[in-house]
Amino acid sequence: AQTVTQSQPEMSVQEAETVTLSCTYDTSENNYYLFWYKQPPSRQMILVIRQEAYKQQNATENRFSVNFQKAAKSFSLKISDSQLGDTAMYFCAFMKLGSGNTGKLIFGQGTTLQVKP
């Protein structure tokens, strides 16, 4: 069975600075997706970034980038130039691909990020 672990329950960062959120996962699968989601106080789940396991290049979306280390099963999220609107709970998630793909997302425990002015 797959598991996703986020070992940082809470983090804080000063506005305009950079912060990195950690995520590790365990799987015997070779073909999968990894996601980072943001859940602000409104509780709307927002997809931040997605990484296909077969791609060696790290995904980036504007101020958000990932460091995907497949061998180490690590998938960290870097937020550059942090903004007050980045304050949210962040979830790392895993989805298996292939013939057994059901779209099931396995979420980590979440990291609450507070951006301070």
Partner 1 sequence: GAVVSQHPSWVICKSGTSVKIECRSLDFQATTMFWYRQFPKQSLMLMATSNEGSKATYEQGVEKDKFLINHASLTLSTLTVTSAHPEDSSFYICSAARDREDYGYTFGSGTRLTVV
**Interacting residues toward partner 1 by CB under 8 A:** 33, 35, 42-47, 50, 89, 91, 93, 95, 101-110, 112
**Min. distance of Cβ 104 from partner 1 in angstroms?**
6
Which pair of tokens denotes residue 49?
A: 């970034």
Mapped onto helix, strand or coil, the DSSP state of residue 84 is helix
Residue number, 75 or 110, with CB nearest to partner 1: 110
Nearer to partner 1, 30 or 101 (CB): 101
CB of 16 to partner 1, least distance (A): 27
Query: Min. distance of Cβ 36 from partner 1 in angstroms?
Result: 11
Q: Is the dihedral of CA 37, 108, 33, 11 positive or negative?
A: positive
Which residue lies nearer to partner 1 by CB, 80 or 106?
106
Closest approach of partner 1 to the CB of residue 4, in Å: 9
- Under a CB-based contact definition with an 8 Å cutoff, are residues 81 and 26 in contact? no
Contact (CB, 8 A) for 19 and 88: no
* 33 in Cβ contact with 51 (< 8 Å): yes
Nearer to partner 1, 29 or 80 (CB): 29
Distance CA 99, CA 33 (A): 14
